[in-house]
Structure 1
Amino acid sequence: MHASRRHFILGSLSAAALAATSRASAAGYPDHPITFVCPWPAGGTADMTMRVLCAEAAKPLGQTIVVDNKAGAAGMLGLRALAAAKADGYTIGQIPISVARFSQLGSVPLDPLKDLSYIARVSGQTFGIVCQAEARWKDIKELVADAKAHPGKLTYASAGVAGATHVGMEEFNQVAGIEMLHIPYKGGAPALQAVLGGEADLLIDSSSWAPHVQSGKLRLLGTLGARRTNDFKDVPTVSEQGFPVVVDAPNGIGGPKGLDPAVLARLRAAFRLAAASPEFAAACGRIDAPLMYLDGPDYEKYVAQTMQKEKLLIDKLKLRELLAKG
């Protein structure tokens, strides 16, 4: 037999053997618990909804999904751990959409379109600007007037430098023509406690603040969605109050690049069912978060589109300079 022909046949047999082994491995997947990396602190809104989502996805998979909180660096610490994990389907996690920004800023060493596998986009978030109930501002216009009178004196807490909340607030500051001092924390939960404890004047975050607004401890000055929220219909959006800023950071699920296609298909099917479950809808409803499901391929396209938008935002808000200041 000609040598090149022999090599071709052996190569084909090797590829076939690898494919057969992969199918056999995928057929038994999963045979032990799966780790889900949540890049935010325990107790935050993302953590709460992701735990419910994982509990529902575990049912069709037939294995427990254990949530591992790896908070820090505005969600990028956990994402780096996720991207570096073995691509065997036993480590998955939440992908903060801010990776589309951080990867272009050079602050996270990964390419969202080359280093990650996409399972599903599941839900959005309701962002708002809140202060203590005793604060002197009743709405966004009063806040802006005070900030103009005292430039650089008011402080706001966020979930981290250059994350969705920080960027959203800086975009608001730019539109309003004001300057406020940013105090970054390792997630929304500690940022919330900072405002409750008086360490910062304002909080911009997803709806971790909602129970405290309802109890009367905090005041919601405005929400940052395109429309008013279901739970706070009497509070105008920031845009309605004259400052056209919309902040949207949908939650998505993924894994490291290189997942076996059959394993990825199994995960996509499980999280599709989980995202459609009454339990997940109820969890999202408790924090006024809209359901925004996209299957893996469409979710990956959404990330690619977001990366193009972020290129413009990085220059507009001078984010490289902001990141350098910390």
Structure 2
Amino acid sequence: MTTPRLPQRRRLLAAGAALCLAATVPTGALADTPAFPSKPITLILPFPAGGPTDAQMRALAIAAGKELGQSVVVMNQPGAGGTLGPATMSRTAAPDGHTIAIAANTLYRLPLLQKVNYDPLKDFTYIINLTGYTMGIAVRADAPWKTLDDLIKDARSRPGQISYGSTGVGSSGHIAMERLARATGTSFNYIPYKGGAEEAAALLGGHIDFISNAGWGAQVDAGKERLLAVYSDKRLKRRPDVPTLKELGHDLVITSPIGVVGPANMPPAVVARLHDALRKAMQDPTYQRLVEQWDQEHQYMSSEQYRGYAAEQMPKEKAFLDQLGLKLQ
């Protein structure tokens, strides 16, 4: 019998070593590294179509799809103050990155107000924070109140008779107005809605007197609504004539970040891939134009920063709710 030539023997030995190494690696480790994404990604938007977030996220989805090599499909799933969509995702979607959702501050405020079927810190993977809603108090252009002080004085004279809308119980706009009402000794009649488009229709139709929320930009630009004040720390670049609540003597600054979350236990490599694609998509001119059109600011947070923000925010929200006397129902 002839002996294999040396190069051939080396090739055989190398192949045998590779087979031995493969036998020692758990099969799950090899299976855990599939190509991502392998199919279109669903981005759940927990607000109705037609609002400011809808337009922004559709622009972002198109840009992110180009980065990922797969389409990103926006699916509207409103309800429960913007928590129904991400909560449902956390229970039903595989943690493979192909189903993700937009999250707002209500996601970790609502569990402090009522029983929910999710844990904001255990049931989600925090991927990236994108921007933040700019909250404000807006009335119809023909409303009798020219300033916030006019509105508050009127509310004091007939408590509970002036109505306002915001996106769901426990939303940032709701809590902000309740804090303002408590601080000024007034009370208002709160009516929750599913999203900004519904609130605008209700306000312009005369069903409510004002809104405490974001999403008033287009109506203010069109001269249909008047912005009395904003909850931001500084006056807005596009609206330098509108005062902040802080300027008006109310120590109240409200921010409401908007980010992207996925189900718990997503692979770190998938999280990083989504984060990087969305981070690049944030530079898309159409997306940036829509963010600025609605008077929002870019509020980027990395995955780690975003999760840290959520953890820190829960005790802060609890303190605000305790001040208002709002307890778990």
Corresponding residue to 1:216 among 206, 216, 223: 223
AA aligned opposite 1:298: Q
Question: How far apart are the structure 2 equivalents of 1:29 and 1:173?
Answer: 49
1:191 aligned residue: 199
Structure 2 residue 243 is matched with structure 1 residue 233: no
Corresponding position of 1:5:
none
Give the letter aligned to residue 138 of structure 1: K
Alignment pair present for 1:63 and 2:31: no
Q: Match for residue 53 of structure 1?
A: 60
The change in CA–CA distance for 1:200 and 1:262 in structure 2 (over 3 A counts) is same
Q: Deviations over 1:271-298 (max 9, x none)?
A: 1111233332222111111000011111
Contact 1:122 1:294 in 2 (8 A): yes
Deviation at 1:14, TM superposition (A): 8.3
CA contact (8 A) 1:130 1:220 kept: yes
Contact 1:126–1:229 (CA under 8 A) maintained in structure 2: no
1:108 corresponds to which residue? 116
Amino acid at match of 1:164: S
SS in 2 for 1:299: helix
Aligned pair partner of 1:267 in 249, 261, 274: 274
Q: Structure 1 length as normaliser, TM-score?
A: 0.90
Checking the alignment, whether the CA contact within 8 Å between 2:45 and 2:76 is kept in structure 1 is yes
1:1-326 alignment runs, 5 A limit: 16-23=26-33, 25=34, 28-84=35-91, 85-206=93-214, 208-320=215-327
Letter of the aligned partner of 2:30 in structure 1? Answer: A
Secondary structure, counterpart of 1:30 in structure 2:
coil
Listed as ranges, the gaps of 5+ residues in structure 1 are: 1-11
**Amino acid of the structure 2 residue aligned with 1:199:** H
Q: Do the aligned partners of 2:105 and 2:171 also contact (CA within 8 Å) in 1?
A: no
Secondary structure of 1:308's match?
helix
Q: Normalized against structure 2, the TM-score is what? A: 0.89
Cα distance in 2 between the residues matched to 1:235 and 1:34: 40
Contact map agreement 2:217 2:293 (CA 8 A) in 1 = no
Q: 1:13 deviation in Å?
A: 6.6
Identity %: 38
Deviations 1:94-116 (A, max 9, x none): 01222221123343221121110
CA contact (8 A) 1:128 1:205 kept: yes
Letter of the 2:32 counterpart: S
Contact 1:101 1:314 in 2 (8 A): no
Please give the root-mean-square deviation of Cα atoms over the aligned residues, in Å.
1.6
Q: Which moved more, 1:82-91 or 1:294-303?
A: 82-91
SS of residue matched to 1:36? strand
Secondary structure in 2 aligned to 1:124? strand
SS of structure 2 residue aligned to 1:49 = helix
Asked whether the equivalents of residues 112 and 327 of structure 2 are also in contact (C-alpha less than 8 Å), the reply is no
Q: How many residues align?
A: 307
Does structure 2 conserve the Cα–Cα contact (< 8 Å) formed by 1:175 and 1:244? no
The one-letter code of the counterpart of 2:123 is: D
Residue 7 of structure 2: aligned partner: none
Note if contact 2:113-2:170 (Cα within 8 Å) is conserved in structure 1. no
Rounded to whole Å, the distance in 2 between the matches of 1:14 and 1:111 is 38
In structure 2, C-alpha distance between the alignment counterparts of 1:297 and 1:106, rounded to whole Å: 27
Once the two structures are TM-superposed, the CA of residue 262 in structure 1 deviates from its matched residue by: 1.6
- Which has the larger helix fraction? 1
Alignment deviations for residues 33-71 of structure 1 (CA, whole Å, 9 cap, x no partner): 110000011111222211111111111100110100000
Equivalent pair of 2:65/2:72 in contact (CA under 8 Å): yes
> Which residue does the alignment assign to 2:9?
none
C-alpha deviation, 1:241, in angstroms: 1.4
Ranges in structure 2 where 5+ consecutive residues have no aligned partner = 1-21
Higher radius of gyration, 1 or 2: 2
> What's the offset of the Cα at 1:15?
6.8
